[in-house]
Amino acid sequence: MILPLSTAANLYWLGRYLVRVDGLCHLLPFSDDLEAQSFAHAFNLPAWNAETLNALIHDSSQSGSLPSNLDSVKQNIQSVRGVLTAPTFEAFQALCCQVEASVDDMNDLLRDCRSALKQESTMVQLFLRMGESVERVDINLRLIKDPARDIKALSDVLDLLPIGWQRLKEPIMLLNKRYDRVAFYDLSDRIHELFRNGV
C-alpha cells in the first residue's frame, strides 16, 4: 500500500499519542510526591506534588493531559480512517469515547486497539511504529533513561520503509552516540521535513 505523506504523518502522530496515553494510564494515579515532581519537571507540567499532577493529568484544558491526548488520538484516527479496517476504527472510537473510564478499563481499550492494529497493512504499522519509537526515545531522554532499545527499534523501522526515509539514518546514528535533546530535536526536525516536503 502506498500512503500519501499526510496520511503517513497522521499515523506517525497517532503512534506518538498512543504511547503518551498508554504511559499515563500505566502511571496513574501518582501517589509519591517526589516521583510526581520529577515527572512534572521532565515534561514541563505545572504541578508540584502527586495531588496536583493527578488533577492536571485529568484536566482537559491542559495540553499534556489524558483527555487532551485522547482528543489528539481521535483527530488522527479520523484523518487516517480511509486506510484502516472497520474493526480498528471501531476499537479506537470506543477508546476515545471513554475519557472518564477507569485506568483499568482504559488499559483494556488500549489492548483492543493494539490487537486490532496488528491486522492492518504493513505500511500503516510501520508509520505507527515509527511514531511510537520516537515518542519512547523522547520520554526516555526526558526521564534520563537509556533510549538505546527504542533507537534500535526506530532504525529497524527505517530499514523497512521506502529508500527516501534512509535519510534519517544519519541523525539516528548521531542520537545513538549522544543521547541528548539536541540530537533528538535534530532527528525530529528531519522527520517533520520529510513529511512536509516528501522523500
Q: What's the pLDDT band for 148 if we cut at 50, 70, 90?
A: very high
* DSSP run (H or E) holding 144: none
Taking residues 38-42, what's their average pLDDT?
95
Residue 100 has a pLDDT of 72
Taking residues 137-141, what's their average pLDDT?
97
Please give the distance of CA 87 from its chain centroid, rounded to a whole number.
21
What is the phi/psi pair of residue 22, to 5°? -60, -45
Q: What's the pLDDT band for 198 if we cut at 50, 70, 90?
A: confident
CB 101 within 8 A of CB 109: yes
* Comparison of pLDDT for 196 and 100, the residue scoring more: 196
| Statement: residue 190 has pLDDT above 90 | yes
Q: What's the pLDDT band for 111 if we cut at 50, 70, 90?
A: very high
Taking residues 24-34, what's their average pLDDT?
94
Residue 97 has a pLDDT of 86
Rounded to the nearest 5 percent, the helix, strand and coil shares of the chain are 75, 0, 25
| Statement: residue 60 has pLDDT above 80 | yes
Taking residues 134-144, what's their average pLDDT?
96
CB 15 within 8 A of CB 26: no
Residue 126 has a pLDDT of 97
Spatial separation of the C-alpha atoms in residues 113 and 90, rounded to whole Å = 9
Confidence (pTM): 0.94
Helices 169-178 and 181-197, packing angle to 10 deg: 170
